[in-house]
Amino acid sequence: MAIMRLGRVQLRVPNWEKSVHYYKNVIGLIETARDENHVYLKCWDEHDHHSVILEKADTAGLDHLAFKCETAEDLDIYERKLVDYGVAVERIPAGYRIAEGEILRFRVPTGQTVELYYEIDVVGNGLPLVNPDPWPDGLVGIAAPRLDHLLIAGDDVEGTTQLFQDVFDFHMAEKLIAPDGSYIATWLFTTNTPHDLAVIKGPDSKVHHIGFWIDDWSEVRKAADIMARNDVMIDAGPTRHGITRGLTIYFFDPSGNRNEVYTGGYMPYADSPTITWTTEDIGRGVFYFEGEVNDRFTTVFS
């Protein structure tokens, strides 16, 4: 039984046409399907049908996030564990969305809707599985290889953190604590990245950013060039985090959802000790080079 990875996010985008163009031509995602109110997209080095769904909506924000399980039976196991934990669950039949199988849906204490799934159509990454080249032809924009992580916000950081640890066996790579020891933010992982999911104190049901992986620092620099050429609003960076040690740029899509491109960091394991950050050094923790955090970064959510 295992959650393999963050598999999908669905974002609400009121600025519809510009947002679709941006995710396809700036981030470099590949469109795999669409209906009247949704566009389905994948990063180039993902084999599953989609990892990002754009939803036509009146306001920006996160509709849901979803994790891919290792087996179909995991949905039954996690359903029992969630119910025993006191969490209400809902089963969504296969075919509810394009290319997706059955879904297990629930809500976390910070207010976000979370889904678990196993079955999804496989479309490949544009490369053969025998003797492939490093990348396929035809990539555009930043050409992010994969969806990497998500930072969600809400009041009950401890509750959401505990749920993912107790029910899904996530581990805590790092935490930011208040002077009284309570959680301001936590960085949780189930793979070998410092954060598949992070949780921060803020307004309930909101998202701070979705993060896309890119391969190295030169790709971060190239991403900044592409953002400048396309008049993308940069929030912070290029810079380095103290927390996770990652190299990063934060920026906004045309609808006001914050994105990140991210690389570097370290590889944690289940027995790695949790790193603690305190509020007096939070500037260096978030933006190691600058040593301070801008107001927009800590107050703007979608």
89 lies in a domain? yes
Checking DSSP bridges between strand 171-177 and strand 275-278, what pairing results, if any?
Answer: parallel
Active site residue 250: yes
* Structural domain span for residue 177: 146-299
Q: Which of 49, 50, 195, 208 is catalytic?
A: 195
279: β partners: none
User: Is the pLDDT at 190 greater than 70, yes or no?
Assistant: yes
Does 151 lie in the same domain as 226? yes
- Domain membership of residue 176 (yes or no) is yes
**Closest Cα partner for 150 from 302, 268, 289?**
302
pLDDT in tens, 259-286: 999 999 999 999 999 999 999 988 889 9
Active-site position among 208, 209, 219, 262: 209
Q: Which residue matches tokens 């598999």?
A: 7
What mean pLDDT do residues 235-260 have?
A: 95
Query: Are 125 and 139 within 8 A, CB to CB?
Result: no
Q: How confident is the model at residue 288 (pLDDT cuts 50, 70, 90)?
A: confident
**Are both 155 and 225 inside the same structural domain?**
yes
CATH number at residue 89: 3.10.180.10
Q: Final residue of a domain: which of 97, 117, 137? A: 117
Please give the average per-residue pLDDT across 59-84, as a whole number. 97
* Residues 13 and 156 placed together within one structural domain of the fold: no
Is residue 49 annotated as part of the catalytic site, yes or no? no
Catalytic residue among 23, 40, 118, 250: 250
For 9-59, the pLDDT digits (tens) are 999 999 999 999 999 999 999 999 999 999 999 999 999 999 999 999 999
**126 belongs to a structural domain:** no
Residue 45 lies in a domain: yes
Q: Based on the structure, what is the number of domains in the chain?
A: 2
Per-residue DSSP letter, 163: H
Mean pLDDT of 83-102: 97
Question: 169 and 107 in one domain?
Answer: no
Q: pLDDT averaged over the chain?
A: 96
Q: Is 260 a catalytic residue?
A: yes
Q: Which of 149, 174, 219, 262 is catalytic?
A: 149
Known catalytic residue at 79: no
Based on the residue annotation, tell me whether 241 is a catalytic residue of this protein: yes
What pLDDT is stored for residue 292 in this prediction? 87
Within a domain: residue 33?
yes
Of the ranges 15-29, 96-110, 137-151, 282-296, which one carries the lowest mean pLDDT score? 282-296
Strands 89-92 and 183-189: unpaired
What confidence score (pLDDT) does residue 203 get? Answer: 97
- Point out the catalytic residue in the list 49, 50, 208, 241: 241
Question: Same domain, yes or no, for 168 and 81?
Answer: no
Would you call 64 a catalytic residue per the annotation?
A: no
The half-sphere exposure of 91 on its side-chain side, counting CA atoms within 13 A, is: 9
Q: Describe the strand order of the beta sheet including 3-13 as a list of residue ranges.
A: 30-34, 38-42, 52-56, 3-13, 61-69, 113-117, 103-107, 89-92
Q: Using the predicted structure, report yes or no on whether residue 1 has a pLDDT greater than 70.
A: no
Is 131 contained in some domain? no
Query: 76 and 155 share a domain?
Result: no
Share of the chain above pLDDT 70, in %: 100
The residue annotated as part of the active site, out of 46, 100, 219, 260, is 260
- Mean pLDDT value across residues 102-109: 98
The two structure tokens encoding residue 93 = 């039949």
Same domain, yes or no: 94 and 174: no
Same-domain pairing of 109 and 150: no
pLDDT at 130: 97
